[in-house]
Amino acid sequence: MTEGRLKRQIEEYTNTSPLPMHMPGHKRNPAFGNDIFAYDITEIEGFDNLHKPRGIFLDAENKLAGIYNAGKSYLSVNGATGGLLAVIMAAARPGGTIAVHSACHISVLHAVELSGCKITYLKPEIRESVPFYCEVTADTVKQAIEDHPDICCVVITSPTYEGIVSNTEEIFAVTDPYGIPLIVDSAHGAHLGLTDRFLPAPVCDADIVSLHKTLPAPTQTAAMNIFTDKIDLTTVEHYIDVFESSSPSYVLSDGAIACIDAVRSDKIPFDEWADLLDSLIYEPLSDLKHIKLCDLPSKDRTRIVLICNGVSLARHLRKNFNIECEAAYKTHLIAMTGAGDTAGSLARFRDAVKASDLPGFALDEKTSSLLPLPDKVMSSGISEALSGSRIKLPVEQCIGRICAEYVFCYPPGVPLLIPGELISREVMDYIRSTVGQDSSVTLSGRRDWDGTLCCLDDLPSSRV
């Protein structure tokens, strides 16, 4: 149950409210047995409207701007996804190119698709003994701008799903002289910059944070922060109206407001959180023999990443210790911590990992050299590929063709293939390997992996 100011306002209203001849259909009737209904209202007289904030929502957005040192902030109950779609669409230009992180979230690519823009990828650094992408460098961004003068915005994922943070200050120094907006998908970094115990917040023109991922807020609550005038606010607000429900949840909004108030009143134990990570995780797990704790200077320490056979270890922790981790791969396991963790929860995880430091969970040398994702080659625009004549083929017949659907795993929602991408043998081998991990591979239209792909009917050579 939420405990914010909006909840109290609704309670006061309920005591003297008129007969509710309006939606929602539960009418706050306790007979339905769900306490949340008592605090679930709609845009009625006396309450603020998230699409036209004038009262409690405007106050919350002003407080968000103060927390994140933004010029303007927007509260979202459609998650970081809604924020990314709105901000990228506002920055896009017809016929332009959008430079995106190679391991970006699918919502970033959906924004590119809807904009009709072309895409160029920014390949992050790859480090020896680290089986996932690391940071994007300023040199990579500079080269992309030189190669594509029509770039209208740059989208960086920082932190990544594994917690890797790029040096956005250096990247901003590259994009700013060109007047190119730098947008940072910081969905996993709502806590960054709120304390000097963790890494700083990104330096950029706009970022999007998921409050719920690490802070005490309901799932689906997020914030969009605009720092400069490179992105027109009126256009941003138009696309917020496009992508946000016309009836935003007051229950979720109240939970987000409670989170904002908790940050402002120093009720979130950032120092204790950081101290517990040091004493209960990073110090005692630094000398494991078979499982390796990843601790890089450019990594957010709230994200625990273990280099190991993550699929096997995740099953083991679930079965024998009743611990459910965030995500598991053949090369590593991700465990997320948050403001709600305690000494007891972190100590329990530490003890389980130490007890599981066995040869059977060590990283298999045959998979340790696998690249995080094969290089991507785009042969057409996303929207062009989706609107073309398509044919579904067995995967072996797809090599050399142009993909006409999305192929991705969730979590983390990073596509393995996207429409318009050339299907190489390396990509297909990677997908087979991913399927072999018992991952949830999903394709466009919510269909499960069945060994087939939708491709454009004509071959790339016939499109020249």
| pLDDT at 103 > cutoff 60 | yes
DSSP single-letter state for residue 164:
B
* pLDDT band (50, 70, 90) for residue 245: very high
Q: Does 227 score more than 70 pLDDT?
A: yes
CATH for the 50-249 domain, from 3.30.1540.20, 1.10.1740.10, 3.40.640.10, 3.40.50.920:
3.40.640.10
- pLDDT band, residue 461 (cuts 50/70/90): low
CATH assignment of 382-463, among 3.30.70.20, 3.40.50.720, 3.30.420.280, 3.90.100.10: 3.90.100.10
Report the pLDDT value the prediction gives residue 312, as an integer from 0 to 100: 95
User: 119: number of CA atoms within 13 Å, CB side?
Assistant: 32
Work out the pLDDT band at 10, boundaries 50, 70, 90.
confident
Return the HEC string of 388-410: CCEEEEEHHHCCCCEECCCEEEC
Query: What pLDDT, on a 0 to 100 scale, did the predictor assign at position 393?
Result: 95
Q: Is the pLDDT of residue 464 over 50?
A: no
Percentage of the chain beyond pLDDT 70 is 91
Q: Evaluate if residue 1 carries a pLDDT over 50.
A: no
Q: What is the mean pLDDT of residues 200-220?
A: 96
Looking at CATH, the fold of the domain delimited by 270-368 is given as Aspartate Aminotransferase, domain 1 (3.90.1150)
33-45 mean pLDDT: 77
pLDDT reported for residue 371: 61
SS3 461: helix
307-327: per-residue pLDDT in tens?
999 999 999 999 999 999 999
| Least confidently predicted of 19-28, 327-336, 452-461 | 19-28
Q: Across residues 348-372, what is the average pLDDT?
A: 85
Confidence of residue 258 (pLDDT cuts 50, 70, 90): very high
Average pLDDT over residues 105-118: 96
Tell me the CB-side half-sphere exposure of residue 336, using CA atoms within 13 A.
Answer: 20
Query: What residue type is assigned to position 154 of the chain?
Result: V
Rounded average pLDDT over 435-460: 81
Which pLDDT does position 16 carry in this prediction? Answer: 66
Q: Determine the average pLDDT of the residues in 123-129.
A: 90
Distance of CA 52 to the CA centre of its chain: 26
Average pLDDT over residues 456-461: 78
Burial of 319 (C-beta count, 10 Å sphere; 0-12/13-18/19+): exposed
Q: Is the preceding omega at residue 30 within 30 degrees of 0, hence cis?
A: no
What per-residue confidence (pLDDT) applies to 49?
93
Higher local confidence (pLDDT), 173 or 374: 173
Show the DSSP H helices in 203-342 as ranges.
211-214, 233-243, 250-264, 270-276, 310-321
